Structure 1
Amino acid sequence: MHMITVVKNGRLNPDVRLWTGISAVTVAALTLAEFLVQVFLVGARPALDDSVALEEFMARTANQTLFTILIDTFLMAALIVFLGGFRQIITHTRPDLQWVADLAFGSGLLFIGVTLVGDGMEGGTALDTMGLTLDASSLRALTVGHTLLFGSIGCTLTALIAAASGYVTLASGALPAWTGWVAYVVAGLNLLAVPTMFGGTSPDSFFAAGGAANAMLATFPWLVWVVCVGFVTIRDRRRFHELPPEVQAATGAAPLAVR
């Protein structure tokens, strides 16, 4: 397996399928690391109306929260590579589907931007406890704000990414059809998670904004799709002569070029 591809003009280019897969596996690994830090080092947040407990929790978990945000920043960088690679795979096979692939790519970038804003707000709750007078009202406001960004707002954007990705996958044939159907399921589950924004903020409620329902209906299925596409692109065993004629003509490379 090579990380470079020889194209007909003699120059060496990155293998888009391989790097799409590598970035997807990186997203999965970083998500797992973030989950473990969140569960074992940060723990469950107290109720937002318990000012004393909230201040103590934020002060105690400040460094762990910042570490989680650091992981998430690298995760978002890997996701940019994944989205760019996925778009290239689709548009290389079916250039006429570029506008739909651009919907997935553009909404993906917006999702990343929204996530990083949420990370900044969550990081603000950590920094607000370091050498400053604690203010429970500001901690509560930042927490509620980033909960919506990570929750229903992110779910809406993820649904658009998944729906557009499912369509171009099935229409182009660039990836196995089952990955397209998985993407459609992911889109539907994310839409089901959007109403959790009306579920309140109780840490004990399954349907609370940004709660367990959001993780099970939105985050986990989305991660499953990314990992599936990643492994498919890495292990794609189609050879040059097995690709559609229009793809062979567009590629114009040796059999090694498609792997």
Structure 2
Amino acid sequence: MKTPDVRRWAGVSAFAVAGCLVVEALTKLSTGTRPELDAGLALVQHTKDTAVQDIFVIFIDTFLMAFLIVFLSCFRQLVRNARPDLQWIADITFGAGIVFVAVTLVGDSMEGGAALDALGLEPDPSVTRALIVGHAIMFGSTGAVLLALVSATAAFLTFTTGVFPRWTGVLAAATAASNLVWAVVGFNGTSPNAFFAVGGVGNALLAIFPWLVWVFCIGLTASRGARPGTTRSGAMLTPDRETTP
């Protein structure tokens, strides 16, 4: 059986992530703004009204995270083939990314629990609030620190190996910086109308969205073919090795 093309799968997984993200964003736009956490009755009613949409988003997010695992594996493999001596740094990128996936899925489970509790039952406002805040922390500052580690190491590997264009390394470095900033300011309250607040709009714009843009850009450049001086598998070409295996 032919060995799967790692660059092709990097592109396929990145495009799938982008597709899932578009579906999630369009669905989220239909749910409106969440009430303040201390507005118990309004919060419960909002959870009831948006339960189906929330469960659908979580379902799509599960596939998004699965494709992210494929993408992270492809990124690590391309780096390993180019510079085996830097595999330990690529392992940090992969490991931090996997932990981010796990944290996100736990957060999704908390949000899904609140949504399921609102289907055919009478939710307890305090329980709903606790689940929402727990999800927001995981989706916010906790995830931002992990994404900063993924992005920072990915930037270093990009600059060092040349497997990906240098501009993607600059994008990764900028993403690491924005995530570190958000990790600090993300604890500034819980109001859904505040930009700098846990679970606020700033979380998507400063943390999650820039990183997913980087994922898409890496997948796009990977699917277009090998960089000069490397094979499609990421290995560096030598004078006596001028063809792709």
TM-score, normalisation: structure 1: 0.88
8 Å contact from structure 2 (residues 110, 132) kept in 1: yes
Aligned match of 2:22: 32
Which residue is equivalent to 1:14? 4
Task: Report the equivalent of 2:214.
Answer: 225
C-alpha contact 1:196 1:214 (8 A) present in aligned 2 = no
Q: Which runs of 4+ in 1 moved over 3 A?
A: 252-255
**Which amino acid counterpart does residue 6 of structure 2 have in structure 1?**
V
**Contact conserved, 2:163 with 2:226, CA < 8 A, in 1?**
no
User: How far is 1:23 from its partner?
Assistant: 0.4
| Alpha-carbon distance between aligned partners in 2 of 1:211 and 1:201, rounded to the nearest angstrom | 8
Pairing 1:236–2:225 present: yes
Which residue of structure 2 lines up, in the alignment, with residue 68 of structure 1? 57
Q: How many aligned residue pairs are there?
A: 240
Q: Counterpart of 1:5?
A: none
What stretches of structure 1 of length at least 5 have no aligned partner?
1-10
Give, in whole Å, the separation in 2 of the partners of 1:134 and 1:92: 52
Aligned partner letter, 1:116: L
Question: CA separation in 2, counterparts of 1:125 and 1:119?
Answer: 10
CA–CA separation in structure 2 for the residues paired with 1:238 and 1:190: 28
> 1:196-232 CA deviation, whole Å, 9 max, x = no partner?
3321111111111121111111112111111110110
Equivalent residues in 2 for 1:138-217, closer than 5 Å: 138-217=127-206
Q: TM-score, normalized by length of structure 2? A: 0.93
Contact 1:45 1:57 in 2 (8 A): yes
Aligned AA (1:21) = G
CA distance in 2, matches of 1:243, 1:76: 29
Which residue identity is paired with 1:217?
A: L
Aligned to 1:23: 13
230-239 vs 198-207, greater mean Cα deviation: 230-239
Tell me by how many angstroms 1:63 deviates: 0.9
Residue segments in structure 2 that go unaligned for 5+ positions in a row = none
Cα distance in 1, alignment partners of residues 201 and 15 from structure 2: 24
Question: What is residue 47 of structure 1 aligned with on the other side?
Answer: 36
Q: Indicate the RMSD between aligned Cα atoms, in angstroms.
A: 1.7
Name which of 66, 76, 88 aligns with 1:99.
Answer: 88
Seen in structure 2, the aligned counterparts of structure 1 residues 135 and 173 have a Cα distance that, compared at 3 Å, is same
Aligned residue for 2:186, secondary structure, equals helix
CA contact (8 A) 1:24 1:82 kept: yes
